[in-house]
Amino acid sequence: MSGDVKCPLSCSYCFALQPNYVPQDTVDAALKEAATFGKNSSLLVQPCCDSEIFARPDDGMKILFLLSELGHSISISTKMALSDHMIRGLAEINGRLDKIGALLSVTISIPKIYNLRKYELGTCSIDDRIINLEKLAREGIHTVSAIRPVLPDLSAKEAKDIVDVCRPWCSNFVDGPFYTRRSKYLKSHAAQERTTKIEWLSNDRKDWLVIDNAATRLALKEYILDHPELRFFDGNIQAVEAALSSKTCPLKSS
């Protein structure tokens, strides 16, 4: 489920901002479709997955409250600072879902901690993202830290530093590859990165490739696996499935 309108933020690595990107269903269409499944806590809905759900915080919260009435588990991802008012709303939604065996999962996206502004404009600071994780954990809301996309200049050390700033509050981590246009980054990174065509992009986007910073992704995964209290997942769906099956409280510190 993607946003109705283009995300107003400006992440230079964003494939969804490209003029030839075709979003998935609008929120309205997706809400209607979700309603046809009836109350079903085994379904997972990911609203605004190619946008920023809290670019307009009131609209984002409204979507989440509507979805929570349908009784499906919800996974969202954000790069915005969450106000106390929003945290209270998210806690209410999570409580509502918890009663029927579903959950709300909030992914905080942290692709860089050094030189973040080289890649992102309009998003919140790293400090605010860690505060988000703390506030969510204190409310017992499931969190995921997404080191995604793994950018070509993300070193293994920086990836581990990201884990270290998140792990007091979040034990679940995902990564993800970096999608780009053929011409933009490949000249400088082709030598050290493996590139693969993106099958899920349609025919008119044949110039899109994925740059897989495999060395950093491997180091990141190994670092997380070296810490028994942390968990690495292939994606948000897997992280939510694991949480639903264990229903563990994400709060690690008080």
Q: How far is the CB of 109 from ligand SF4 (least distance, A)?
A: 7
Q: How far is the CB of 126 from ligand SF4 (least distance, A)?
A: 15
Minimum CB distance to ligand SF4 smaller for 17 or for 165: 17
Minimum CB distance to ligand SF4 smaller for 50 or for 212: 50
Residues lying near ligand SF4 in the complex (CB under 6 A): 7, 9-11, 14, 16-17, 50-52, 79
Minimum CB distance to ligand SF4 smaller for 12 or for 42: 12
3-state SS string for the chain: CCCCCCCCCEECCCCCCCCCCCCCCCHHHHHHHHHHCCCCCCCEECCCCCCCCCCCHHHHHHHHHHHHHHCCEEEEEECCCCCHHHHHHHHHHHHHHHCCCCCEEEEEECCCCCCHHHCEECCCCHHHHHHHHHHHHHCCCEEEEEECCCCCCCCHHHHHHHHHHHCCCCCEEEECCEEEECCCCHHHHCCCCEEEECCCCCHHHCCEEEEECHHHHHHHHHHHHCCCCCEEECCHHHHHHHHHHHCCCCCCCC
Q: How far is the CB of 37 from ligand SF4 (least distance, A)?
A: 26
Q: How far is the CB of 6 from ligand SF4 (least distance, A)?
A: 8
Minimum CB distance to ligand SF4 smaller for 79 or for 231: 79
Q: How far is the CB of 58 from ligand SF4 (least distance, A)?
A: 18
The β-bridge partners of 11 are: 120
Minimum CB distance to ligand SF4 smaller for 16 or for 43: 16
Minimum CB distance to ligand SF4 smaller for 63 or for 102: 63
Q: How far is the CB of 8 from ligand SF4 (least distance, A)?
A: 8
